[in-house]
Structure 1
């Protein structure tokens, strides 16, 4: 069961990172077009700023969720490394439970933000404002799932590697 969950969440985290990378690339093109329009054409597109901000909310949220699954968030482990293995394990479990609680908070309050702003329209895009924030509850749910997976693996005794993906080195 855990192996199947791990395979699914690993694929999900890879997809999240690819979506985040695509969002960053698209946002870069949009901002580049905005700068070109402003300084070369003397006419900046009205939609570019809101589109890039919306993309940024989505790709940052997705990358944050993937970071929880892959363990590449920054953390200070000096105290963790100075204690016995049993205490270290409980510290990691406690840290992952705090992250899971943050994911639940993002899911609940991000969902409320989406619901409250869905009827508002982003004028320059013609899209519901809630769509811009929809990445928050989605990534909150994924952060919760990935954190629970890490807790279960830690309790099972799986050696979790909290380091950068070797593909990036």
Structure 2
């Protein structure tokens, strides 16, 4: 189940990057060819970036390409398990922070609109609590087992 979610997150991240590239290309075309840059492109691309970066980060925790001390893990072998647990615990706690404060941020800005898009500002920040929850869920097995991404792969 977690592997499927991580694959979907990576796919969504890739699609978001492609969509953002197309939007920026449209903005450049509009500015230099049509001499009229669309007003919505900048905000749309920024919101897409928040979405795909947060979801790819959550997938990165599952896949093991998150920030970790890989060289230390490789050199120390089993002796690095406590370090791997601490790193995973820090990531799980960071996920909880994103979950709690991301949800509060969404609630606080729900009445504000993105002027050029006409949508709630909360739409931009919805990925924060979702990605935070997923980061925590993906990091907890590593906290419990002490297994590092280098030696044990995803999971």
Structure 2-normalised TM-score? Answer: 0.90
Report the CA distance shift for 1:120/1:94 in structure 2 as closer, same or farther (over 3 A): same
Could you tell me which residue of structure 1 aligns to residue 51 of structure 2? 58
Q: Find the counterpart in structure 2 of residue 144 from structure 1.
A: 136
CA distance in structure 1 between the partners assigned to 2:74 and 2:33 by the alignment: 55
Given that residues 68 and 87 in structure 2 are in contact (C-alpha distance below 8 angstroms), is that contact kept between their aligned partners in structure 1?
Answer: no
Judge conservation of contact 2:88–2:143 (CA < 8 Å) in 1: yes
Aligned-residue CA RMSD (Å): 1.6
Alpha-carbon distance in structure 1 between the residues aligned to 2:33 and 2:82: 58
Does 2:104 correspond to 1:112?
yes
Distance 1:9 1:153 in 2: 16
Deviation of 1:84 (Å): 6.2
Unmatched tracts of structure 2, length 5 or more: none
Q: What stretches of structure 1 move > 6 A for 4+ residues in a row?
A: none
Equivalent pairs, count: 151
Contact 1:69 1:150 survives alignment (8 Å): no
| CA–CA distance in structure 2, aligned partners of residues 73 and 142 of structure 1 | 13
TM-score, length-scaled by structure 1: 0.83
Is 1:37–2:21 an aligned residue pair? Answer: no
Q: What residue ranges of structure 1 are gaps of 5+ in the alignment?
A: 1-7, 163-169
* Pairing partner for 1:76 from 69, 80, 103: 69
